[in-house]
Copies of this chain bind each other. A is one copy, B any other.
Amino acid sequence: MDYASGVARWEPDARGRLDQAAMDLYRERGFAETTVAEIAARAGLTERTFFRYFADKREVLFWGAQLLERFILERIAEAPAKITPLQVVASALAATGAIFEERRERARVRQALIVAHAELREREVMKLAALTATIAEALRTRGVREPTASLTAEAGMAVFKVGFERWLGDTGKKDFAHHIRAALGELRAITSGRKSRSSRP
């Protein structure tokens, strides 16, 4: 393989290959047991190349957060003025299906790793809290006042977390946006005091 020869200085899709190699190794051997050297070798790249893209092996699981945040902020910024703040946020979150839909299996492997490792759970919780704060800020930029902006961001992220979990557990029939909309409907039922379908005994 040319790209492993050490001659080529430009590595096509090095990030994607490192990501794929890391996820495969984490699944096969476990997160704690995998070294950066092994990830680089599996991807046919050098450790040096690995560190050009990721600070450490943990970062492989979190580099998408920035992409996700930018995507959501763009959707919020371009949302029509006359829909409610919660609709703005829910639509932006449902649109992230464009990022997640093709990666359900990767997302499942990632989620299992995060659930199993306290240090990863902590990082995930902090990333989601940062995203919540960024969404609230984007709403304030649109003229939404406090406490509406913060509450809407929190409510939106609650919908995102629950919708995301349901999508992960789905055997493949319903898409990401469906699960976000379903979680939003559930939240509306909860706050209106109606019994939703899933809460009935």
Contacts and interface: CB of A to CB of B under 8 A. Distances in A.
A188 interface: yes
Contacts of A145: 198-199, 201
A186 B155 contact: no
Contact of A186 (B147, B157, B183, B188): B147
B155 A161 contact: no
A151 B190 contact: yes
B198 A147 contact: yes
Copies of this chain: 2
A148 interface: yes
A129 interface: yes
Contact of A188 (B125, B166, B191): B191
Contacts of A188: 191-192
Contact of A190 (B152, B166, B193, B198): B152
